[in-house]
Amino acid sequence: MTLRAFVSAVAALIALGAAFALAGPPPAIEPSGASLFNIESKWTTQDGATVALTHFAGRPAIVAMGYTTCKDICPAIVADMMWVEKHMTPGTVGKVRFAFFSFDSEADTPERLKLYAESHGLDLDRWMLLRADDAAVRELAAALDVPFRPNDQSGFDHAAVISLLNDRGEIVFQQRGTRASSEDLLAKVRELLLRSE
């Protein structure tokens, strides 16, 4: 083999390697110890798709827990998240995901989650509603520090907690309780987006 043939063979191999690297999935980034991506539970979306929490990698996410038949605080939680969505610029709102995780493993089927999204006018390009089994719910609630318990009215008593995750699944801010306007949360979202630019 001439030197030239050798060089071009090596170049071809490198090109081939690069092509494989480009075609393959992005390298999995090991989550930090504090990342919610260390949680391995699987969730079902309003469209019936199965996702892990790592689905929320790559972009900031505003996440909360509730359930669709909740008449009291849950609509207020969703309203607070929508308030943030509404107050973002058209250019940045697409860079953030919004997620609503249900406590109600039994009643909140994908169909029910989808109806809830529709009735609240949630843009499913940005929003995701998710359900899982009781054990997964309890684990996520623990990680997000959302106290809850089933109540006697087939619902749940729970705290209102909206968490802001960065693109690596780390909690960077929490709003506890609902607000007329979630200014602090919005400011933190903007700050995150600025930092990632």
Of 62 and 74, the one with the shorter C-beta distance to other proteins is 74
Using CB under 8 A, which of 88, 107, 124, 143 touches other proteins?
143
8 A C-beta contact, residue 59 and residue 167: yes
Of 78 and 93, the one with the shorter C-beta distance to other proteins is 78
Q: Is 28 in the site for other proteins (CB under 8 A)?
A: no
Q: Going by DSSP bridges, is the β-strand pair 97-102/61-66 parallel, antiparallel, or unpaired?
A: parallel
User: Which pair of structure tokens corresponds to residue 71?
Assistant: 């008449």
Taking phi first (over 0 means left), then psi (-120 to 50 degrees means alpha), and beta for anything else, what does residue 137 get?
alpha
Q: Is 33 in the site for other proteins (CB under 8 A)?
A: yes
As measured in angstroms, the least distance from the Cβ of 126 to other proteins is 24
Separation of alpha carbons 135 and 105, rounded Å: 10
Torsion sign (Cα): 151, 156, 160, 164 = positive
8 A C-beta contact, residue 128 and residue 47: no
* Region near other proteins per CB under 8 A, out of 16-24, 31-39, 87-95, 181-189: 31-39
Using CB under 8 A, which of 47, 118, 123, 176 touches other proteins?
176
Task: Name the site residues for other proteins (rule: CB under 8 A).
Answer: 32-36, 38-39, 66, 70, 72-74, 76, 135, 138-139, 141-143, 145, 147-149, 151-153, 155-160, 176-178
